Amino acid sequence: MSASLFLGHIASHGNFKTDTPDDSSAIMLDYNEHLTLDDFLNTKIESHIQKTRPAFVFNSCHSGRQSWALRGLGGWPNHLIGMGAGLFLAPLWPVSDSCALQFAKQFYQELLRGKTVAEAMLSSRLAIKDVSQGDSSWLAYSVYAHPNAKVKIIQTGSSEKPDF
């Protein structure tokens, strides 16, 4: 499985409305701005995602949710994977900042150690299970990717770059 070197990681607040998942799924940005699905509806962006198969990690509440929309499932996962993204990872419900940070660090460390996406996911969930202090944050994350996908380090010149 081959994909781009690009990894899009967002750590922010998110929202989701089941009755309008395509219109209301948003990531909160600075200055009261929002990143929405509409921001990705551009032929250049869609073509780039198809060619490079980037990985997207949205560490923002509700970003992994989906619901029925006018043309099938709506929400971030269906749209980005449908465009050709190689991986999409996000929580389905609110998680604490400490759990979000620990989960992301563990997930990336495991991938860089040569673990598969499935192995990294399990390890990351277990790593925040104790930190989450009895809440369900450790189960909030959902990943859309081939379970056996791995990061491959490619040497180009003097620098190493991960390839998803």
Task: Give residue-wise pLDDT tens across range 46-62.
Answer: 999 999 899 999 898 88
Question: Is residue 24 in some structural domain?
Answer: yes
Question: Is residue 137 in some structural domain?
Answer: yes
Question: Is residue 163 in some structural domain?
Answer: no
| Coil vs helix vs strand at 53 | coil
Total-model pTM: 0.80
The H or E element spanning position 117 is helix 117-129
Partners of residue 100 on adjacent β-strands: none
3-state helix, strand, coil in the chain (%, to 5): 40, 30, 35
Q: Domain limits at 85?
A: 7-145
Question: Is residue 33 in some structural domain?
Answer: yes
Question: Is residue 150 in some structural domain?
Answer: no
Sign of CA dihedral 90, 91, 94, 98: negative
Confidence of residue 43 (pLDDT cuts 50, 70, 90): very high
Q: What is the Cα–Cα distance from 87 to 66, expressed in whole angstroms?
A: 16
What is the mean predicted confidence (pLDDT) over 33-56? 87
Per-position b or e across 128-159, b if 16+ CB within 10 A of its CB? beeebeeeebbebbbbbbeeebbbeeeeeeee
Q: How many domains does the chain fold into?
A: 1
pLDDT digits (tens, 9 = 90+) for 13-27: 676 666 665 566 667
